[in-house]
Amino acid sequence: MTNDPRTEAADERERGYVKLHRKAIDSAVFQCPNLWHLWTYLIMRANHKPAWVKIERVAEPVRLERGQLITGRFALQKALYPKGSKRAPHPSTIWKWLGALEHLGNLRTSTHSRYTLVTIVNYGTYNDADTDDAHLDAQQTRSRRAADAQQTRTNKKEEKLKNGKKKQEESAPPQLLELIDGWNELGPAIVKPGKGVRRDPPSVTVLRKWGAAMKEPEKRTALADIPALLAKIRGAKFCHCKGWFTFLWLFGKNQNSEFNLVKLTNGGYDDAGDGKQTNQPGPGQRYTPGVGDSKTPTF
């Protein structure tokens, strides 16, 4: 008989479970640890559904029904005592235990030249097909519910972001969007690369700066005519390509507490044509006394 445990259709028994009733404690099998060890192993190794099994040195595959398995004395010893313990019973002893289980009516055996076919009696008591399928269905249902819940959370998050973006777009005044578009079209000769501003939607900071500017009469006046403001920005050559020249800079103040927007629209950052600034320098700058008419700004 074969001693190869791989012939026992292991793949068919890797998943699922078997049922053991509490009344088994009162059985003759439970009273003998060796018999109980062998019996529970056979229940768990039996096929839970029909399958064809190829056996070594046997020409044709063997058909196994539910509750059947193929084994041999050496295969059983290797399966029950895989570490090859010196205290492991002899294969013949284990085979006698199998005979005892058959005598007690727990199973039937059919011996062939290369293997022994074991059939568990009343296998449905230990592994009901409906229960097994229900267990699998329950697992699949839980998996689907978890996947659906995750998808729902993802959809809600995307919807929230979409709604938030839409609200920001709706809250952005047309004049602000016009100014952003004009700023982003100024080009690298005026605005240093990387100093552009997001439009769709504008950032919360930009929206707040705009809202605050609308509360200042001087800033509100400067922002009333966006094309004129953009023209002033193109003429403010003193600011062009400076690292501090950003969109948010427009809404700030310099060290003299002057509004940059107001000073810009008044020509405070225009170039005189000879490379000299006609008015006060930008934010964070001051004049160095005694430098002369060039009024070179220092930081």
Q: Does pLDDT of 10 surpass 50?
A: no
Extract the tokens encoding 8: 């026992």
* The pLDDT of residue 134 is above 70: no
Tokens encoding 296: 């070179």
Calpha distance 181→166 (Å, rounded): 18
Q: pLDDT over 70 for what percent of the chain?
A: 78
The predicted pLDDT at position 255 comes to 87
Q: How much is the pLDDT for 105?
A: 93
Residues 181 and 287 in one domain: yes
CA gap 118, 128 in Å, rounded? 18
pLDDT at 15 (0 to 100): 59
Do 32 and 95 reside in the same domain of the chain? yes
What is the structure's pLDDT at 28?
92
Please report the pLDDT score of residue 82 as a whole number.
84
Same domain, 144 and 252: no
Q: Choose one of 152, 169, 186: the last residue of a domain.
A: 169
Segment 94-108 mean pLDDT: 94
Segments in the chain forming alpha helices (H):
28-31, 33-45, 73-80, 91-103, 129-171, 174-184, 204-213, 217-222, 226-235, 260-265
Domain end among 144, 169, 194: 169
**Which pLDDT score is estimated for 17?**
77
Same domain, 122 and 189: no
Domain end among 96, 127, 158: 127
Position 249 pLDDT exceeds 90: yes
In this prediction, residue 96 carries a pLDDT of 95
Q: Who has greater pLDDT, 295 or 24?
A: 24
Contact 12/49 with Cβ under 8 angstroms? yes
- 3-state DSSP assignment of residue 107: strand
> Span 100-124, mean pLDDT?
92
| CATH code assigned at 123 | 1.10.10
Tell me: do 192 and 76 sit in the same domain. Answer: no
**pLDDT tens digit sequence for 283-297:** 444 444 444 344 444
In this structure, the answer to whether residues 163 and 190 fall within a common structural domain is no
In this structure, the answer to whether residues 178 and 291 fall within a common structural domain is yes
153 and 194 within one domain: no
Verify that 137 and 237 share a domain, yes or no: no
Same-domain check for residues 41 and 112: yes
Q: pLDDT, tens digit, for every residue of 202-233?
A: 989 999 999 999 998 999 898 999 999 999 99
Q: Which residue, 52, 72, 58, 62, is CA-closest to 12?
A: 52
Structural domains counted in the chain: 3
Pairing of strands 107-111, 116-120: antiparallel
Question: Does residue 104 share a domain with residue 193?
Answer: no
Split at pLDDT 50, 70, 90, the class of 298 is very low
What is the predicted pLDDT for the residue at 275?
42
Domain of 160 in residue numbering reads as 128-169
Strand pairing report for 107-111 and 286-287? unpaired
Please tell me whether residues 144 and 199 are part of one structural domain.
no
